[in-house]
Amino acid sequence: MSSVMRIGTHSGSFHADDVLAVALLRAFVDADASVVRTRDEATLAEQDVVVDVGGRFDPEARRFDHHQNAYEGARSSAGMVLDWLEHEGAVSPALATRYREVLVDYVDDVDNGRRPPEPDVPCFSSIVATLADSASDETFDALFEQAAGFAKVYVEAVAAGHARERAAVDAVRDAMQAAIRRGDAVVYLDRYLKWKPAYFELGGATHPTDYVVFPTEQDVRVVAIPPELGSFEKKRALPEPWGGLRDDALSEVVGVPGARFCHKNRFLAVFDTLDHAVAALERWGLSHRPRGCGGGRG
């Protein structure tokens, strides 16, 4: 391979899979990789990697096309490239699984006709398709690069979020165990973390806690824990009289100074200090579960 990876893909219109394949290669192999968009076989043969064109699937030769009859798998070029990156150790198995869950399997399914893009939803595939639909013969290459740039930002953001989630596991585990030792219903974190995935990975659905408390740069947040990851319900909602109030009106109802805001749906309350947040929870009997309370939905 040359000092800068050379990627070949097809000319003309583009789709989510070839855009994503290029973004994955730039994110995990060579950020400066060049792209040649052509169907000329001689030119493609000169490239280090070829995606979505060429009629050949050969990971060892870095050829990733899925259109030929000889390929009977479920991948698009994006899924093929992700498999190769995982095999080569450029992407960990856990991160590869995350990509498949949140992006790549969907792109594979749309590109191979197993499902249509969600109607009226700006999903990844439809965003790329909108860019392609706006292009002309003179602008396809430039818009492809814009789409690939957007895709690389998204790919890197997924990786960063995954890394934060993994880093949060130990801290969240310690906080959950501390709540058990105290015998109360509040998980206290010393900083904001992506706590929900870790909490539920560690058995949070059956953990006897109802709230997570953590500081931000400006305030302290009290968040009602959902019964499962992705749910908009609450194990135990914040008190009904708090809902929708702000500042002095909220402090008067809560009976503690420094209250700033409670969402009308009672999943979030904001206080100026940790002491005031703790005092509010204790005053309203929220620090401990009522006897026999299983944390039903609020």
What is the DSSP annotation of 84-149? HHHHTTSS-HHHHHHHIIIIIHHHHHHHTTSSPPPTT---HHHHHHHHHHT--TTTHHHHHHHHHH
Which residues contact residue 230 at a Cβ distance below 8 angstroms, ignoring those fewer than 6 apart? none
Strands 259-262 and 268-271: antiparallel
Phi, psi of 227 (to 5 degrees): -75, -20
What is the residue extent of each domain of the chain?
6-162, 183-283
> Does the domain made of 183-283 have the CATH classification 3.30.70?
no
Q: What is the residue-level pLDDT of the chain in tens, covering all 298 positions?
A: 558 999 999 999 999 999 999 999 999 999 999 999 999 999 999 999 999 999 999 999 999 999 999 999 999 999 999 999 999 999 999 999 999 999 999 999 999 999 998 878 899 999 999 999 999 999 999 999 999 999 999 999 999 999 988 889 999 999 999 999 999 999 999 999 999 999 999 999 999 999 999 999 999 999 999 999 999 999 999 999 999 999 999 999 999 999 999 999 999 999 999 999 999 999 999 999 875 444 443 4
Q: In angstroms, rounded to a whole number, what is the distance separating the alpha carbons of residues 188 and 9?
A: 50
Q: Which helix (H) or strand (E) holds 46?
A: none
Q: Which helix (H) or strand (E) holds 7?
A: strand 6-9
Q: In angstroms, rounded to a whole number, what is the distance separating the alpha carbons of residues 150 and 111?
A: 19
Q: Is 113 exposed, middle or buried (0-12, 13-18, 19+ CB in 10 A)?
A: exposed
Q: Max CA-CA distance within the chain?
A: 77
pTM of the model as a whole: 0.75
CB of 10 closer than 8 Å to CB of 38: yes
